[in-house]
């Protein structure tokens, strides 16, 4: 946020910013956990599990009542029948990731979706068999990629192309990623990188990476676990082949919520594309004719396997309605930049010599999350994290040495940021 000169390091100023916040009413739409003394927690962990919207219980209770009222007829009865229920989420998901309605679907879990996408889009040959992935990717992504390579009879030591930041640096340089693609592209079958890196909070230049990959004949997909609901994206216009994400972080849909998937429309009519098929991906007009000849829907829905759990979809619908009420991802991103900018300003004002922020500073290179390392007084970062947690702050710790904090625009305040920095400061001097 390039407006730090406007900020002031006082509680009064933080409260003033909260009063001027155009979406301040959204905080009351969420359940805020309480400390033992009854005060609200300073909850800065939406990058791991978002808080529960007030709407969620209402939407879940409604679906339970539909089950009570209709039984199996609930698939076709009521205001939100279960048979097409995932379609009620389509518009909200498309708006979040910058897609056409036909390109998105809520289904399965994140890693399951990544596997399904690699079944279709990782088609290795003797000369083009590598998958480009970050070194120290989120473990589940690494496991998925490694297992897909082995499944196809290749050796991960030869077929996993791992990229990492330069020596002594914490984040990736886009030019380094593009150079690897240029140098190694003829042997790369698939590029699979994060939209936002889980450890550092860095936003990757998805448009540039996709263009570079396609110029070398590579398929390009992204894990958007930390991006969806956090930053603005234009997956269709960027020509991304596929992307997958979860809904329990910035989309506040509950632990283990059904995940999301994007498949670019250019792939929809290719019925010869390999895939693991299930009946929910079959042509809706003929699905119940029970014909055992698979006829895929010409949309991202073709990658569905089974009918989804309605209660989880109801929680996602509640979250998407909350996003809409806030003004959409554009309004959330506008506040996010200012909120995270204020937190960065306070950290630099109070703790510049004690805390290192490894998350990039440019607006287009970070989302809500700031990743902090402790570099003072010989204190162990994990000990500092335990101290702030005991003082009423919920963030999270990631091995080997990062405290992740994420002020989420829907329910966090500028006062949260101010009080967190004061607590962190005290935790460094005990």
pLDDT digits (tens, 9 = 90+) for 28-81: 999 999 999 999 999 999 999 999 999 999 999 999 999 999 999 999 999 999
> Sorting pLDDT into bands at 50, 70 and 90, what band is 401?
confident
Per-residue pLDDT tens over the stretch 135-161 = 999 999 999 999 999 999 999 999 999
pLDDT of residue 377: 62
Residue 1: pLDDT over 70: no
> Sorting pLDDT into bands at 50, 70 and 90, what band is 5?
low
Q: If you average pLDDT over residues 251-256, what whole number do you get?
A: 98
pLDDT of residue 430: 60
Residue pair 259/107 in contact by the 8 Å Cβ criterion: yes
> Sorting pLDDT into bands at 50, 70 and 90, what band is 281?
very high
Q: How far is CA 188 from CA 58, 161, 266, in A?
A: 48, 8, 21
Return the axis-axis angle of helices 310-326 and 90-97, rounded to nearest 10°.
50
3-state class of 326 per DSSP?
Answer: helix
Residue pair 74/91 in contact by the 8 Å Cβ criterion: no
Q: How far is CA 14 from CA 11, 333, 384, in A?
A: 5, 19, 24
Q: If you average pLDDT over residues 8-31, what whole number do you get?
A: 97
**How far, in Å, CA of 411 to CA of 68, rounded?**
34
pLDDT of residue 400: 85
Residue pair 34/40 in contact by the 8 Å Cβ criterion: yes
Q: If you average pLDDT over residues 294-320, what whole number do you get?
A: 97
Task: List domains and CATH numbers for the chain.
Answer: 4-30+329-427 (3.90.1150.10), 61-324 (3.40.640.10)
> Sorting pLDDT into bands at 50, 70 and 90, what band is 380?
confident
pLDDT of residue 381: 84
In DSSP terms, 402 is beta-bridged to 398
**How far, in Å, CA of 263 to CA of 345, rounded?**
39
Helices (H), 216-282: 235-238
pLDDT of residue 382: 87
Residue pair 396/386 in contact by the 8 Å Cβ criterion: no
> Sorting pLDDT into bands at 50, 70 and 90, what band is 379?
confident
> Sorting pLDDT into bands at 50, 70 and 90, what band is 15?
very high
Per-residue pLDDT tens over the stretch 69-99 = 999 999 999 999 999 999 999 999 999 999 9
Q: How far is CA 119 from CA 145, 152, 192, 274, in A?
A: 11, 10, 13, 7
Residue pair 355/424 in contact by the 8 Å Cβ criterion: yes
The two structure tokens encoding residue 332: 């959330």
């Amino acid at each position: 946020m390039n407006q730090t000169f406007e900020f002031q390091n006082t509680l009064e100023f933080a409260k003033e910013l909260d009063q001027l916040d155009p979406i301040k009413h959204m905080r009351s739409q969420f359940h805020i956990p309480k400390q033992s003394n009854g005060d609200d927690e300073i909850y800065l962990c939406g990058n791991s599990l978002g808080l529960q919207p007030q709407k969620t219980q209402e939407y879940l209770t409604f679906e339970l009542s539909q089950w009570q009222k209709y039984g199996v007829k609930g698939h076709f009865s009521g205001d939100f029948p279960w048979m097409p229920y995932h379609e009620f989420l389509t518009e909200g998901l498309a708006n979040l990731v910058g897609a056409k309605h036909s390109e998105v679907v809520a289904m399965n879990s994140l890693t399951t979706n990544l596997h399904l996408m690699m079944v279709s889009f990782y088609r290795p040959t003797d000369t083009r068999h590598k998958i480009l992935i970050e070194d120290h990717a989120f473990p589940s992504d690494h496991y998925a990629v490694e297992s897909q390579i082995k499944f196809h009879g290749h050796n991960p030591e030869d077929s996993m192309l791992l990229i990492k930041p330069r020596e002594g640096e914490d984040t990736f340089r886009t030019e380094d990623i593009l150079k690897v693609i240029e140098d190694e592209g003829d042997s790369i079958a698939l590029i699979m990188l994060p939209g936002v890196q889980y450890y550092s909070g860095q936003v990757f230049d998805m448009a540039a990476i996709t263009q570079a990959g396609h110029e070398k004949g590579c398929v390009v997909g992204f894990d958007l676990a930390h991006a969806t609901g956090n930053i603005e994206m234009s997956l269709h216009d960027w020509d991304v082949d596929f992307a997958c994400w979860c809904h329990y972080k910035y989309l506040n849909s509950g632990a283990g919520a059904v995940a999301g998937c994007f498949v670019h429309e250019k792939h929809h009519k290719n019925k010869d594309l390999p895939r693991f098929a299930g009946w929910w991906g079959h042509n809706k007009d003929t699905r119940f004719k029970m014909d055992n000849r698979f006829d895929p829907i010409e949309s991202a829905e073709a990658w569905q396997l089974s009918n989804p759990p309605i209660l989880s979809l109801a929680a996602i619908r509640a979250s998407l309605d909350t996003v809409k009420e806030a003004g959409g991802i554009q309004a959330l991103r506008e506040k996010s930049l200012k909120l995270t900018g204020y937190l960065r300003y306070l950290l630099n004002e109070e703790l510049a010599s004690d805390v290192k922020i490894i998350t990039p500073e440019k607006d287009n290179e970070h989302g809500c999350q700031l990743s902090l390392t402790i570099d003072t007084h010989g204190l162990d970062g994990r000990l500092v994290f335990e101290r702030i947690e005991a003082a009423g702050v919920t963030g999270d710790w990631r091995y080997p040495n990062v405290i992740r904090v994420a002020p989420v625009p829907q329910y966090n305040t500028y006062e949260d940021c101010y009080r967190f920095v004061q607590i962190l400061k005290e935790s460094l001097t005990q």
